Structure 1
Amino acid sequence: MRIPDRGRLDAPSRLQPAVLALGSNLGDRGELLRDAVGALRSTPGVEVRAVSPVVESVAVKPAGVDPSAPRYLNAVVLVDTLLDPHELLAEAHRIEAEHGRVRAERWGDRTLDIDIVDFDGEVLADPALTLPHPRAAERAFVLAPWLAVDEEAVLPGAGRVDALLAALGDDTVPAEGVSL
């Protein structure tokens, strides 16, 4: 891992806020999320500012909710970073891989998922990364924990997180006995 070169013209010159959504529905889900937060804390150029309470949710597949799939544990981590969005995504993928993430099927069951939900309000759409996350406004398992760590949160282009969650409905439940 490299910290951005201060001499590069495109390197961020300040810490930029980002919102990361974490999820796990295979293995020791709580331990995987704890390890992911630890890995983020030790990533050069990333400072963890806040970690949400953990919630549990049903699995969502391309065809919709899959009640037969293992349930997810989800959390949101607020970070400040010197990395650019693609570098942060590369670090997220590295952490996922180190925790056994296999990308066999779209929206498949996984040991660990780390999504960038928002990166300093940036709007980006390229083959590798879309910002803000294109489905975050439809996911209570992202909105509820995000709201728990930032009551004033706004999803760029979609609106206030509290209003989005109220309109969507919160189908998450607190994950008893799991803390990060």
Structure 2
Amino acid sequence: MNRHQCIYIALGSNQAHMGKTPARTLCFALGELVRRGVQIEAASRPWRTPAWPDPSDPPFSNACARVATGLGPGALLDVLHEVEDVFGRARGQRNAPRTLDLDLIDYRGEVSGQGGDGLILPHPRAAARSFVLLPLREIAPDWRDPVSGLDIDRLVARLGAKDRAGARPDGPPLAPLAVQHGA
């Protein structure tokens, strides 16, 4: 598979939603993406990671998925935000605990600045975050950051030892689950 033709998203949750654990919420979020026409080609295991920037907040369940869609990057970002809303995402304080966070990490290797939709590709902080890189490496071991050209192993090696050690796999690879009305 040509890594430059792939689309990658990151998923995260550290608050239960309607009785679903954060890891389970990620599976239902994948199911909602499928319902909206986004094909899930591969998904990582959930990774348990400390909350950032405040490690006293509940830990996160993080994962990455490779997806396929005919949507352009702006339209896909809109779908990601709509799915966050379905799962009760309350936007307010940056980096606060949340039921669901969906980020567009890489859209077919495109590099673009912030447009009117607020979209920057690749995601501007993904290459420095263990909670993105470690699950991404599971499904895209040959991925390279489109900006720096560095491969994922080199990016992971550049993370701090504490950052790498704080993240650990927490279950089998995610699988999409169908969302019932009312999520």
Asked if 2 retains the 8 angstrom alpha-carbon contact of 1:122 and 1:131, the reply is yes
SS in 2 for 1:88: helix
Distance 1:88 1:155, change over 3 A: same
Tell me how many residue pairs correspond in the alignment: 160
How far does residue 176 in structure 1 lie from its aligned partner after superposition?
Answer: 4.1
**C-alpha distance in 1 between matches for 2:9 and 2:71:** 14
Residue of structure 1 equivalent to 2:169? 174
Residue of structure 2 equivalent to 1:4? none
Residue of structure 1 equivalent to 2:178? none
Residue of structure 2 equivalent to 1:56? 48
How far does residue 17 in structure 1 lie from its aligned partner after superposition?
Answer: 2.4
Residue of structure 2 equivalent to 1:135? 125
**C-alpha distance in 1 between matches for 2:25 and 2:62:** 11
Q: What amino acid does structure 2 have at the position aligned with 1:57? A: T
Gaps of 5+ in 2: 176-183
SS in 2 for 1:102: coil
Computed over aligned residues only, the root mean square deviation of the Cα atoms, in angstroms, reads: 1.5
**1:148 corresponds to which of 135, 138, 146:** 138
**C-alpha distance in 1 between matches for 2:147 and 2:63:** 22
Sequence identity of aligned pairs in percent? 38
Quick one: higher RCO (CA 8 Å, sep 6+), 1 or 2?
A: 2
What TM-score results when the alignment is normalised by the length of structure 2?
0.82
Distance 1:83 1:177, change over 3 A: closer
Distance 1:177 1:85, change over 3 A: closer
Asked if 2 retains the 8 angstrom alpha-carbon contact of 1:17 and 1:81, the reply is no
SS in 2 for 1:56: strand
Residue of structure 1 equivalent to 2:86? 98
| C-alpha distance after superposition, 1:31-65 (max 9, x if no partner) | 21011111112222x2211001110111113xxxx
Q: What amino acid does structure 2 have at the position aligned with 1:22? A: L
**1:24 corresponds to which of 13, 29, 43:** 13
SS in 1 for 2:52: strand
> Higher strand fraction: Structure 1 or Structure 2?
1
**1:40 corresponds to which of 33, 39, 46:** 33
Higher mean C-alpha displacement, 164-173 vs 18-27? 164-173
